[in-house]
């Protein structure tokens, strides 16, 4: 007799815990062998999912999970129009405007929960789901605050559930190969990382508008605000897209893109727990409401095992690395940078500077990379593969959903690479940068990751976590 679905999922969870522990240490290792009967779930016991946030990215997250043979039984969105539209794709799914109500009502009818809401509700939704023993796929950045990221990875390990954050570049063969190349020592000891982004593409650097507008019919504004402080509805200001720039709801350009663009170097170089961050160019949080329109940050990392001390430099809003960095890149890309300087389209890029060479990626997801100077690597042979490759032929986003669902089923032994053990640490690293933007330009913020506390700039510590509205606590 085949084991019950419960035992299969338990096997998956045990595998996940081992993977989580390994990735928490900054190292990827293969899981131990699973039960020989893994994946033998009967049709009547097919996996089910409830999806929180089904517009925009949430729409594709929901659809991609459904493509993997998972039955969508619940749809939740604060906007009735969005909910109705997605309901046409999944007519048998029950519809809700409040995820608390959905999870309470569906209860043990759900195996998987997807969370694709604005950043400020990720933790409240995902933590509730994990504590109900649900496997969780959550969009990036994993959380709005550092304390939430710590809670997410601790809870995932405690509950033994399968998890995945939506930084789909993790599923790309190119990213995994680049990590192997850097870990092999191809470019020597890496002392500098430079990453710049074409974000923000939404308003930042402005204050709260006066007055309020009538809440549209069909919009659950209370549920959209969720754990954040209540404020009046203003048409086109927060819902449904521009929320990323507002400090109560989003994490700005850094939070939006760094879980993608820093993913490859963070994984390769174990860039966890910076000891200090400085906002080199910092117009500051505007009126306590929005992130600045542009910023430049410098993160400092100490020696990590055999890895030498390293700085990670972040640039957004059109800011770029110095010419000493740009001049090392291919001429074709240098021309694009010059066009940007002349007022053209903004670029994105990642440069890792080592003692023997450079890795350059012009891909937001780290899926494409180049070893430079080109002539120094003409006869370069790639290292032996050490990271698994996803055996599913599709786009990166869909491959990542396959990895997640197949791990839940117990059919994919390596497990999810962007699980919360890894993604939580990645998110914590990144969000320390937003603390630096709370301080003055040039202020070096020392950081004690273990205690989640700055010992020298006390004023930023209140932003490590938040006060939650009644009923929305995490």
CATH class name, domain 173-204+236-386+425-463: alpha beta
Q: Residue 471: pLDDT above 50?
A: yes
Per-residue model confidence (pLDDT) at position 440: 86
In 3-state terms, what secondary structure has residue 310?
strand
d(CA 454, CA 107): 40
What are the phi and psi torsion angles at 153 (to 5°)? Answer: -70, -35
Residue 49 tokens, joined: 């999912």
d(CA 98, CA 289): 26
For 331-345, write each residue's pLDDT tens digit.
Answer: 999 999 999 999 999
d(CA 278, CA 259): 19
What is the percentage of the chain residues whose pLDDT exceeds 90?
Answer: 90
CATH architecture of 5-171+391-424: 3-Layer(aba) Sandwich (3.40)
What are the phi and psi torsion angles at 456 (to 5°)? Answer: -115, -15
Matching residue, tokens 């490859």? 264
d(CA 61, CA 53): 9
Contact 409, 47 (CB under 8 A): yes
Contact 112, 93 (CB under 8 A): no
Residue 63 tokens, joined: 């659809």
For 86-144, write each residue's pLDDT tens digit.
Answer: 999 999 999 999 999 999 999 999 999 999 999 999 999 999 999 999 999 999 999 99
Contact 351, 362 (CB under 8 A): no
For 273-329, write each residue's pLDDT tens digit.
Answer: 999 999 999 999 999 999 999 999 999 999 999 999 999 999 999 999 999 999 999
CATH 3.30.360.10 boundaries in the chain: 173-204+236-386+425-463
Residue 43 C-alpha from the chain's centroid: 33
CATH 3.40.50.720 boundaries in the chain: 5-171+391-424
For 44-63, write each residue's pLDDT tens digit.
Answer: 469 999 999 999 999 999 99
Per-residue model confidence (pLDDT) at position 206: 95
From residue 209, alpha-carbon distances to 203, 226, 243, 261, 469 in Å are 12, 20, 13, 32, 22
Q: How many CB atoms lie within 10 A of CB 444?
A: 16
């Amino acid at each position: 007799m085949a084991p019950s679905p419960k035992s299969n999922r338990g096997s998956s969870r045990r595998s996940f815990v081992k993977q989580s522990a390994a990735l928490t240490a900054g190292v990827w290792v293969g899981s131990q062998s699973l039960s020989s009967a893994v994946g033998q779930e009967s049709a009547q016991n097919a996996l089910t999912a409830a999806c929180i946030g089904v517009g925009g990215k949430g729409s594709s997250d929901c659809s991609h999970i459904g493509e993997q043979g998972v039955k969508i039984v619940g749809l939740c969105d604060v906007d009735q129009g969005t909910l109705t539209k997605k309901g046409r794709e999944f007519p048998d799914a029950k519809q809700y405007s409040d995820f608390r109500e959905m999870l309470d009502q569906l209860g043990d009818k759900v195996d998987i929960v997807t969370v694709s809401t604005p950043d400020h509700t990720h933790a409240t939704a995902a933590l509730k789901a994990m504590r109900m023993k649900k496997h969780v796929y959550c969009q990036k950045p994993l959380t709005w605050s550092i304390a939430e990221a710590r809670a997410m990875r601790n809870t995932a390990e405690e509950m033994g559930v399968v998890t995945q954050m939506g930084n789909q570049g993790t599923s790309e063969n190119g990213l995994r190969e680049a990590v192997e190349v850097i870990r092999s020592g191809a470019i020597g000891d890496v002392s500098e990382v430079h990453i710049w982004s074409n974000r923000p593409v939404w308003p930042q650097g402005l204050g709260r508008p006066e007055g309020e507008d009538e809440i549209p019919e069909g919009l659950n504004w209370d549920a959209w605000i969720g754990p954040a402080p209540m404020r009046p509805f203003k048409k086109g200001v927060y819902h449904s897209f521009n929320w990323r720039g507002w400090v109560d709801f989003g994490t700005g350009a850094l939070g939006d893109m760094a879980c993608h663009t820093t993913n490859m170097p963070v994984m390769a170089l174990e860039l966890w727990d910076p000891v200090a961050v400085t906002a080199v160019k910092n117009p500051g949080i505007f009126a306590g409401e929005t992130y600045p329109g542009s910023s430049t940050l410098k993160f400092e990392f100490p020696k990590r095992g055999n890895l030498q001390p390293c700085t990670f430099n972040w640039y957004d809003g059109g800011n770029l690395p110095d010419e000493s960095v740009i001049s090392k890149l291919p001429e074709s890309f240098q021309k694009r940078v010059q066009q940007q300087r002349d007022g053209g389209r903004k670029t994105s890029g990642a440069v890792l500077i080592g003692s023997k060479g450079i890795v350059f990626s012009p891909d937001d997801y780290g899926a494409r990379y180049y070893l430079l100077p080109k002539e120094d690597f003409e006869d370069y042979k790639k290292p032996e593969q050490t990271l698994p490759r996803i055996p599913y032929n599709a786009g990166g986003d869909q491959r990542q959903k396959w990895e997640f669902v197949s791990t839940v089923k117990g059919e994919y032994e390596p497990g999810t690479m962007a699980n919360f053990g890894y993604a939580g640490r990645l998110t914590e690293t990144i969000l320390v940068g937003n603390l630096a933007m709370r301080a003055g330009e040039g202020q070096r913020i020392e950081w004690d990751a273990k205690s989640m506390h700055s010992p020298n700039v006390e004023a930023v510590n209140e932003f490590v976590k938040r006060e939650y509205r009644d009923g929305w606590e995490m």
